[in-house]
């Protein structure tokens, strides 16, 4: 299976988008934990769930992009 340039760009954009999204989630979670340390466990759990959902969408985007190539 040969990967075309468009498919590689699509897969790369999907990965970059996921990285930006997870970075924003991490930054917001750390800021929230600094403001309310008593809720850090709940914030961390929600952060991990959100990051996992973003990774799932990114993986789906990469697979779709590579299958089109």
In a domain, 32, yes or no: yes
Domain containing 56 — which CATH number? 1.20.20.10
The reply to whether 54 falls in a domain is yes
pLDDT number for residue 65: 87
Q: Which domain holds residue 27?
A: 12-68
Report how far residue 44's alpha carbon sits from residue 36's, in angstroms, rounded to the nearest whole number: 12
Strands, E, within the chain: which ranges?
none
What's the total number of domains in the chain? 1
In a domain, 30, yes or no: yes
Q: Which two tokens stand for residue 56?
A: 């799932």
Q: How far apart are CA 58 and CA 25, in angstroms?
A: 15
Determine how many CB atoms are found less than 10 A away from the CB of residue 61: 17
52 lies in a domain?
Answer: yes
List pLDDT tens digits, range 34-66.
999 999 999 999 999 999 999 999 999 999 988
Q: Are 53 and 64 in contact (CB under 8 A)?
A: no
């Amino acid at each position: 299976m040969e990967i075309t340039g468009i498919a590689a760009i699509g897969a790369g954009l999907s990965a970059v988008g996921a990285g930006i999204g997870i970075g924003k989630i991490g930054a917001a979670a750390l800021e929230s934990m600094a403001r309310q340390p008593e809720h850090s466990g709940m914030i961390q759990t929600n952060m991990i769930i959100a990051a996992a959902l973003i990774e799932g969408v990114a993986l789906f985007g990469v697979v779709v992009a590579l299958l089109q190539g």
